[in-house]
Amino acid sequence: MTFNEFMDKVAARNSHEPEFMQAVKEVIETVWDVYEATPRYQQYNILERIVEPERVIQFAVPWMDDEGKVHVNRGYRVQFNSAIGPYKGGIRFHPSVNLSVMKFLGFEQTFKNSLTTLPMGGGKGGADFDARGRSDGEIMRFCHSFMAELYRHIGPNTDVPAGDIGVGRREIGYMFGYYKKLVNEFTGVFTGKGFEWGGSRIRPEATGFGVVYFTEEMLKVQGDSFKGKRVAISGFGNVAWGAVQKINELGGKVVTISGPDGYILDEDGISGEKVDYMTVLRASNNDRVKDYADKYPSAKFFPGKRPWEVPVDIAIPCATQNELNEEDAQNLINNKIMCLTEAANMPCTPKAIEMIQNAKILFAPGKAANAGGVATSGLEMTQNSNRLSWPAEKVNQELHAIMKGIHEACRTHGTQPDGYINYVKGANVAGFVKVANAMCDMGLI
Ligand code: NDP
Ligand code: 2IT
């Protein structure tokens, strides 16, 4: 079988799922030579099996708004692969959620979790719920209805959800609380919990911190650092917030954040109380970053635009999938950026990645760079199993070491003959081999 024949076969089953096909193509094309060189993988038909989710759950989520009107959303949990541990991955509430998005995220999560070196399989869940303008009571009722079905499919040794877009500490509280009531057990079934009820220190910051630690390692290989670098960030959510904090700490200057309404350029840098203000903006359930420019006169708002046109040294997309396209990549290349790190899941289109790599610009794929979030979730699971909680410094140290290890794995598997490190190939091969070997060891199950 050739690579194209394989992709045709996958497309015949999944062609109506563009995000999932995009994620599959990127992984399989970079591991194809490993597959061809390993008879055991062929004997066990690993590739066809690894692109097939082990279980897909879809369910109705009925709920009542504050006016007494009844709504119904569609809920999902994709339990993608459990070869190396219980299913693990976030829950996303956003109107753009559909089965293709859930499957792409569950597939990516499988390799990301493998890269962390912790025993976690891959999963993802969510609903096409739009939280904008919704009251706290409406969000609580939605979360309870979602959990009224999901609870029977998860468990601390089966499947452990966490947050993602639209799901933070508040939503996890409502879901965890309802699970606890239904099952009559207080267990580590969610990560990203509040610190008072089993959550790990540093988990809120972990994804953003990890992204910056990974980028720091890439810069180090080039004999460089964050010191004095201008950085463009997109989004203004949890991941963006963590990344901005750590970049400031390392001496970089973040000049942009963005929302669906446009982007903010703040030449004075987004630091100090402005970073705290990002959490206020996000918690407002209002998708406008424009408010930042109304509050801080040093900032300018560019409606309907993306931040990739601003001259910077480093670009870090932190919002959502396919938010950086070939036109944006061309702008970044023209502005001579040195590094592009994916903090969101699959934020760059395949064409944009190809252009950046051809220009020999440092490029970090999301499944490696943003793995610090789920890695710290893994550390939360360990703390819950041991019934104790570690201080922030310890969690941060572990996270830092894990990110350095992931960078090293990418470097080992991705260094090209000309010395350029293809981090996409490195991450995919390192993540894939461990899952594939475990699947072979267990036979056909
Ligand atoms: P948040 O909900 O906190 O923030 C998401 C941000 O992206 C918001 O600014 C949101 O604005 C914006 N956004 C979401 N969807 C779209 C869209 N379709 N178009 C434009 N903007 C959009 O989520 P997180 O910060 O947690 O997640 C950001 C990214 O990081 C996601 O890709 C997520 O999968 C990934 N990630 C998150 C991890 C975590 O631990 N939280 C771990 C690893 C990866 P709005 O909602 O107003 O549209
Ligand atoms: O995409 C991701 O890695 C996450 N949203 C975090 C998953 C987790 O289980 O912490």
In ligand 2, the atom with minimum distance to the C-alpha of 160 is: 9
CATH of region 3-186:
3.40.50.10860
Rounded distance from Cα 295 to ligand 2 centre (Å):
32
Protein residue whose Cα sits closest to atom 9 of ligand 2: 89
User: Which residues contact residue 177 at a Cβ distance below 8 angstroms, ignoring those fewer than 6 apart?
Assistant: none
Nearest ligand to the CA of 159 is: 2
Binding site membership of 164 for ligand 1 (Cβ less than 6 Å): yes
- Tokens encoding 108: 């990516």
Check whether 286 has a pLDDT greater than 90.
no
Binding site membership of 115 for ligand 2 (Cβ less than 6 Å): no
Probe target for ligand 1 pocket from 164, 193, 325, with the most ligand atoms within 8 Å of CB: 164
- Tokens encoding 100: 């293709």
Ordered strands of the 70-81 beta sheet: 55-64, 70-81, 121-127, 87-93, 159-162
pLDDT per position as a tens digit, 6-39: 999 999 999 999 999 999 999 999 999 999 999 9
Side chain identity, residue 294: D
- Tokens encoding 440: 């072979």
- Containing 415, the helix (H) or strand (E) segment is none
Buried b (16+ CB within 10 A) or exposed e, 104-122: bbbbbbbbbbbbbbbebbb
Binding site membership of 318 for ligand 1 (Cβ less than 6 Å): yes
Question: How far is it, in rounded angstroms, from Cα 326 to Cα 328?
Answer: 5
Residue of 89, 93, 99 whose CA lies nearest to 21:
99
Binding site membership of 112 for ligand 1 (Cβ less than 6 Å): no
Rounded distance from Cα 106 to ligand 2 centre (Å):
10
Nearest ligand to the CA of 347 is: 1
In contact, 389 and 383? CB cutoff 8 Å: yes
In ligand 2, the atom with minimum distance to the C-alpha of 203 is: 10
pLDDT per position as a tens digit, 139-162: 999 999 999 999 999 999 999 999
229 a catalytic residue: no
Residue of 371, 333, 329, 321 whose CA lies nearest to 353:
329
| 283 confidence band (pLDDT: 50, 70, 90) | confident
Domain with CATH 3.40.50.10860 in the chain: 3-186
pLDDT per position as a tens digit, 71-99: 999 999 999 999 999 999 999 999 999 99
Binding site membership of 164 for ligand 2 (Cβ less than 6 Å): yes
Percent of the chain residues past pLDDT 90, beyond the cut: 98
Binding site membership of 259 for ligand 1 (Cβ less than 6 Å): yes
The terminus-to-terminus CA distance of the chain in angstroms comes to 24
Residue of 171, 170, 172 whose CA lies nearest to 191:
172
Rounded distance from Cα 234 to ligand 1 centre (Å):
10
Probe target for ligand 2 pocket from 109, 191, 382, with the most ligand atoms within 8 Å of CB: 109
pLDDT per position as a tens digit, 97-143: 999 999 999 999 999 999 999 999 999 999 999 999 999 999 999 99
Using the structure block, give the residue that is written with the tokens 């066990």. Answer: 44
Alpha helices in 38-134 (DSSP H): 39-43, 46-50, 99-115
pLDDT at 33: 97
Question: What angle (nearest 5°) sits at the alpha carbon of residue 366, between those of residues 364 and 369?
Answer: 65
pLDDT at 158: 98
Residue of 201, 174, 204, 179 whose CA lies nearest to 189:
179
pLDDT at 282: 87
In ligand 1, the atom with minimum distance to the C-alpha of 235 is: 9
Protein residue whose Cα sits closest to atom 4 of ligand 2: 90
Binding site membership of 73 for ligand 1 (Cβ less than 6 Å): no
Cα Rg of the chain (Å, integer): 21
Buried b (16+ CB within 10 A) or exposed e, 345-371: bbbbbeebbebbbeeebbbbbbbbbbb
pLDDT per position as a tens digit, 185-227: 999 999 999 999 999 999 999 999 999 999 999 999 999 999 9
Mean pLDDT of the chain: 97
Rounded distance from Cα 46 to ligand 1 centre (Å):
32
Rounded distance from Cα 164 to ligand 2 centre (Å):
6
CATH 3.40.50.720 fits 204-364, yes or no: yes
Greater confidence, 286 or 257? 257
Nearest ligand to the CA of 123 is: 2
pLDDT at 284: 81
pLDDT per position as a tens digit, 384-440: 999 999 999 999 999 999 999 999 999 999 999 999 999 999 999 999 999 999 999
Probe target for ligand 2 pocket from 207, 320, 367, with the most ligand atoms within 8 Å of CB: 207
Binding site membership of 162 for ligand 2 (Cβ less than 6 Å): yes
Domain with CATH 3.40.50.720 in the chain: 204-364
How would you class 441 by CB atoms within 10 Å of its CB: exposed for 0-12, middle for 13-18, buried for 19 or more? exposed
Q: Which of 124, 290, 367, 425 is catalytic?
A: 124
Binding site membership of 374 for ligand 2 (Cβ less than 6 Å): yes
- Tokens encoding 148: 């009224």
Q: Give phi and psi for 403, each to the nearest 5.
A: -65, -40
pTM: 0.98
Binding site membership of 102 for ligand 2 (Cβ less than 6 Å): no
| 324 confidence band (pLDDT: 50, 70, 90) | very high
Probe target for ligand 2 pocket from 169, 345, 374, with the most ligand atoms within 8 Å of CB: 374
User: Which residues contact residue 383 at a Cβ distance below 8 angstroms, ignoring those fewer than 6 apart?
Assistant: 188, 198, 200, 389, 390
Binding site membership of 121 for ligand 2 (Cβ less than 6 Å): no
Check whether 56 has a pLDDT greater than 80.
yes
Check whether 288 has a pLDDT greater than 90.
no
Angle, nearest 10°, between helix axes 392-414 and 423-442?
Answer: 100
In contact, 205 and 237? CB cutoff 8 Å: no
